[in-house]
Structure 1
Amino acid sequence: MSDEEMYLHYHGLLLPKETHSLESLKFVQEFTFEDEDVVTVTYPKSGTAWMQEILPLLLNDGDLTPIQTIPNWDRAPWLEEKRLAVVVDQLKSPRALVTHFPYRLMPHSFHASKAKVIYVMRNPMDVMVSSYYFHQMAAFLQDPGTFEEFMDKFLEGRVLFGKWTDHVKGWRHTDLGDRIMYITYEEMVQDLPAALRRMSDFLGRKLSDEVIQKIAEHCSFKTMKTNNMSNFSLVPKIYMDSDKSPFLRKGVAGDWKNHFSSEQQAKFTSVIRKDLEKESFSLPWSLD
């Protein structure tokens, strides 16, 4: 199938038709945010499924019911996907939501609300590696080609949701003030309880150390990989073939070192740095 058959073009972005439609995109633009809503924002492959596990637990004082009984795409649905319209009326306040949207496409009601945002950033080299494997196993996405070919696409923004640097720049330059919190995937890998405590404090949840520890245990990569409500094993094989690559593949930081040649790394970092050279913020990790 061609790109045209597989993808929607929406405000300069590529979105897969399997999960997005003109109706779902209209639905989100007319969506009414509530002040208690919490949105995790990520560029694809930056820890979205992890946050779909974490957010409901933080917002429900560690009650495991949602992560054991509701698939992650229904307990913390994507704003822009078809599924939101189906489940939105079943979501209890405070609602946990996720999105890959750039800041410029967030609906009007989001800006008018007091909804909070947790923006999760991940080293773009690891993002690209994860995305490369995802394209191999997801039948509704174009074959990624060679690693080198996919890297060129990634750097040029000819991938889902556009350029990584555009996404980061948009969300780093907001007028949201204390409504937004930034955290990295790497911080979460390094010390998940500390990351959960930061999120809990940001959301105004007074969770005990015992509850934080309990959430950390249930949100570990090992536990999530065995939870059918979280590991995407409920998705039929015709859409996502875990034999080609499991959806929850490694859950580590720094796997890019096993994939990039020194020449590819130099090229990749050069483009990313050039895209960010006029920015007032610095990246939280070295690209070397």
Structure 2
Amino acid sequence: MQPAEKYLFTYKGFYFQPDMASMEYLETLEDFEIRDSDVFLVTYPKSGTIWTQNILSLIYHEGHRDGTEKVDLLDRVPWLEYNIRNMDYISRPSPRLFASHLPYYLAPKGLRNRRVKVVYVARNPKDVLVSYYHFSKTSLKLEEVEDFGIFMERFLAGKVLANSWLDHVEGWYSHRDDFDILFLTYEEMKKNLRSCVLKLCNFLGKRLTEKEVDAVVDQATFNKMKADPRANYEFLPPGLIDLSRGHFLRKGTVGDWKNTMTVTQNERFDSVFKERMEKLPIKFCWDINDELCAAISMLKRHSTLAMMEVLRSGHSLSVLSDKLLLFDLTALGDSAGSTRFPTASLTRVIGTCKPTHHDKAMQPHEKHLFTYKGFYFPAELVSLDSLEDFEIRDSDIFIVTYPKSGTVWTQNILSLILHEGHRDGTEHIDLLDRAPWLEANVRNMDYVNRLSPRLFASHLPYYLVPKGLRNRRGKVVYVTRNPKDVLVSCYHFYKIAVTFDDEEEDFGIFMERFLAGKVVASLWLDHVEGWYSHRDDFNILFLTYEEMKKDLRSCVLKLCNFLGKRLTEKEVDAVVDQATFNKMKADPRANYDFLPANFMDHSKGHFLRKGTVGDWKNTMTVAQSERFDSVFKERMEKLPMKFCWDMSDLL
């Protein structure tokens, strides 16, 4: 949608902030008088502008470097188009430093004669987007959009201050021959600040001693800047920034977008930006650790002897890092040159290259869960007495799943297959009576005297099922589902299930519990692996939720064949029709809305939520997805089941 006029106005197709710039003033910029000694810093917003302002001020002003002058950045490097302090730019002493978000076509004409220096800093647009989003919450001059998804759509459409990131970067780069311009990226500055400071000094014709360069690099680090009242922009008046809601300088990292953007949002972003970005000669780093890990990997390949020597001697990781520093990084390409990563960075990243198991997963509360033979059960719902010796009949059928893997769906399908009265609607028996839970006899039924064929549902692991099942007498239908969708479905289910711990609102912490198996039914991997590796002990059919979504009719026929049930074409049609998600959700016999309030808080949601494949992408951030993969991927690759991760893959 269009941004509100209160916050933005357009001049020659470009968005500016009202109250900080006027049409009349902007019209004068075209003929702004340029001096040969002028330096212009140009960026798209949230691309390292303040950082580079600070670096340029440190390079040019000894009083900034040695701390003898208390002049802030807004005086050192004022904004060309936003003259907030009403300075007399014409009379400023040379060299004049200016910052600007202007597009190439609105820059003063004098810049185009290649007389003055332009430093253009670009940053990967996903980090720009996330930084921009958070900045809009602290800036009193920008419209606050609470929903990140809506803000992202505005950003992608260029309906934000400074318009489209792509247009801005492409514009300046494609017209680079019109200017005396140096291009830098935020990421290369993060990767090797000293190298970039030297590059800037060389471009600007500024000769600094080694000690002076050291001072620039030291004071331009993020932590030093954030603590420096001259550089942190906290000197802005209250009418511009609400410091109670955040700081102008937030994190200063590379790859933080992964902690905000969901996988779906990342895919949406790529669908809009990817094609045009591939044509840009500027190559962006999307996660600083990825490049450092790649560098370390290459260094390791070239330093096997050094590493073997260190490992044999029993020295620490810091010594190993020092050994690695014997090798330069010229093989890594132009972005690294012949520079060396600091030992501290190598030490830090060597650790992050390995899957790291966070310590956030806490023990579940005894009020909600208890353990029996190493397996988590919901408190007050489970009766485990005598299950081991539960008498099995040849005609028994057991639906076994890990929670939120299609259990209710399969209960419904089997009930429809086995009961004509369910198919034709003449019987109004709900699923809790049709296919009761073996370990949770909620209605205190007499399981022993139930009529055959008895149908049971269960989340039990293979080692806790009745012994009689192991002689391959009864039939077991095991349904599994991709674990990311299971995780997200469990998270939402915990919020409506009164018997579970719904106090934890943070999805990230819940995910850590799930990955550690500190949830109902313990670890997904153990459950699936356990049943599959002991498949020869049971008369078992494996199905996946995703294949049921892809071709339900085929799965119904497979179930009929496994169970020895012969249905007519018309009967199969009836099963398939009534087993669709929408039909189930509307069927009071199948939707579990019949559960009493002491089990389910129906005001918070329904037992059946979406019934899709790939919904995890709308909840999990990219960082969370990567974290999940680091824990699950290796073991999952050994499973013979191939999971589908996105609904589009089924088409």
Q: TM-score, normalised by structure 2?
A: 0.42
Paired letter, 1:209: E
SS, match of residue 231 in structure 1: coil
Deviation at 1:62, TM superposition (A): 7.1
Deviation at 1:108, TM superposition (A): 1.1
Rounded Cα–Cα distance in structure 1 between residues aligned with 2:66 and 2:219: 12
Verify the 8 A CA contact 1:34 1:113 in the aligned structure 2: no
Paired letter, 1:105: L
**Which position in structure 2 is the counterpart of 1:141?**
142
Deviation at 1:195, TM superposition (A): 0.9
Deviations 1:149-194 (A, max 9, x none): 0000000000011100000101111243782111110111122111
Rounded Cα–Cα distance in structure 2 between residues aligned with 1:45 and 1:67: 29
Deviation at 1:67, TM superposition (A): 9.1
Larger deviation, residues 185-194 vs 234-243: 234-243
**Which position in structure 2 is the counterpart of 1:21?**
22
- Would the alpha carbon gap of residues 282 and 204 (structure 1) be closer, same or farther in structure 2, given more than 3 Å must change? closer
Equivalent pairs, count: 286
Larger deviation, residues 80-89 vs 147-156: 80-89
Gaps of 5+ in 2: 288-621, 623-651
Deviation at 1:41, TM superposition (A): 0.8
Rounded Cα–Cα distance in structure 2 between residues aligned with 1:239 and 1:10: 22
Rounded Cα–Cα distance in structure 2 between residues aligned with 1:276 and 1:223: 33
Larger deviation, residues 44-53 vs 168-177: 168-177
**Which position in structure 1 is the counterpart of 2:254?**
253
Paired letter, 2:285: W
Paired letter, 2:148: F
**Which position in structure 2 is the counterpart of 1:77?**
78
Deviation at 1:6, TM superposition (A): 2.4
Paired letter, 1:82: N
Deviation at 1:120, TM superposition (A): 0.4
Deviation at 1:123, TM superposition (A): 0.7
Larger deviation, residues 18-27 vs 192-201: 18-27
Rounded Cα–Cα distance in structure 2 between residues aligned with 1:271 and 1:229: 39
- Would the alpha carbon gap of residues 9 and 65 (structure 1) be closer, same or farther in structure 2, given more than 3 Å must change? farther
Deviation at 1:18, TM superposition (A): 2.8
SS, match of residue 93 in structure 2: coil
Paired letter, 2:249: L
SS, match of residue 117 in structure 1: strand
Deviations 1:19-40 (A, max 9, x none): 2112331232221111111111
**Which position in structure 1 is the counterpart of 2:216?**
215
Verify the 8 A CA contact 1:135 1:142 in the aligned structure 2: yes
Rounded Cα–Cα distance in structure 2 between residues aligned with 1:274 and 1:175: 21
Matched, 1:55 2:46: no
Rounded Cα–Cα distance in structure 2 between residues aligned with 1:177 and 1:11: 20
Rounded Cα–Cα distance in structure 2 between residues aligned with 1:37 and 1:67: 24
- Would the alpha carbon gap of residues 67 and 180 (structure 1) be closer, same or farther in structure 2, given more than 3 Å must change? farther
Deviation at 1:73, TM superposition (A): 1.7
Rounded Cα–Cα distance in structure 2 between residues aligned with 1:191 and 1:280: 22
Verify the 8 A CA contact 2:114 2:180 in the aligned structure 1: no
Paired letter, 1:193: R
Rounded Cα–Cα distance in structure 2 between residues aligned with 1:8 and 1:22: 9
Verify the 8 A CA contact 1:46 1:122 in the aligned structure 2: yes
Deviations 1:44-63 (A, max 9, x none): 00011111111122223575
**Which position in structure 1 is the counterpart of 2:284?**
284
Percent identical among aligned pairs is 34
Deviation at 1:91, TM superposition (A): 3.0
Verify the 8 A CA contact 1:118 1:182 in the aligned structure 2: yes
Deviation at 1:65, TM superposition (A): 7.0
Deviation at 1:90, TM superposition (A): 5.5
Rounded Cα–Cα distance in structure 2 between residues aligned with 1:186 and 1:62: 28
Verify the 8 A CA contact 2:80 2:99 in the aligned structure 1: yes
**Which position in structure 2 is the counterpart of 1:33?**
34
Rounded Cα–Cα distance in structure 2 between residues aligned with 1:268 and 1:206: 42
Deviation at 1:286, TM superposition (A): 5.1
- Would the alpha carbon gap of residues 49 and 229 (structure 1) be closer, same or farther in structure 2, given more than 3 Å must change? same
Verify the 8 A CA contact 1:231 1:247 in the aligned structure 2: yes
CA RMSD between the two structures: 2.3
- Would the alpha carbon gap of residues 123 and 62 (structure 1) be closer, same or farther in structure 2, given more than 3 Å must change? farther
Deviations 1:66-104 (A, max 9, x none): 994222122111111133752414532111111111111
SS, match of residue 87 in structure 2: helix
**Which position in structure 2 is the counterpart of 1:206?**
207
Rounded Cα–Cα distance in structure 1 between residues aligned with 2:129 and 2:231: 22
- Would the alpha carbon gap of residues 149 and 116 (structure 1) be closer, same or farther in structure 2, given more than 3 Å must change? same
**Which position in structure 1 is the counterpart of 2:186?**
185
Verify the 8 A CA contact 1:27 1:85 in the aligned structure 2: no
Matched, 1:4 2:9: no
Verify the 8 A CA contact 1:68 1:229 in the aligned structure 2: no
- 1:117-156 maps to which residues of 2 (within 5 A)? 117-156=118-157
Paired letter, 1:264: Q
Rounded Cα–Cα distance in structure 1 between residues aligned with 2:167 and 2:29: 21
- Would the alpha carbon gap of residues 280 and 256 (structure 1) be closer, same or farther in structure 2, given more than 3 Å must change? closer
Gaps of 5+ in 1: none
Deviations 1:227-258 (A, max 9, x none): 22221222233421122121110111111111
Verify the 8 A CA contact 2:58 2:65 in the aligned structure 1: yes
- Would the alpha carbon gap of residues 149 and 67 (structure 1) be closer, same or farther in structure 2, given more than 3 Å must change? farther
Larger deviation, residues 15-24 vs 43-52: 15-24
Q: TM-score, normalised by structure 1?
A: 0.91
SS, match of residue 245 in structure 2: coil
**Which position in structure 1 is the counterpart of 2:263?**
262
Verify the 8 A CA contact 1:74 1:87 in the aligned structure 2: no
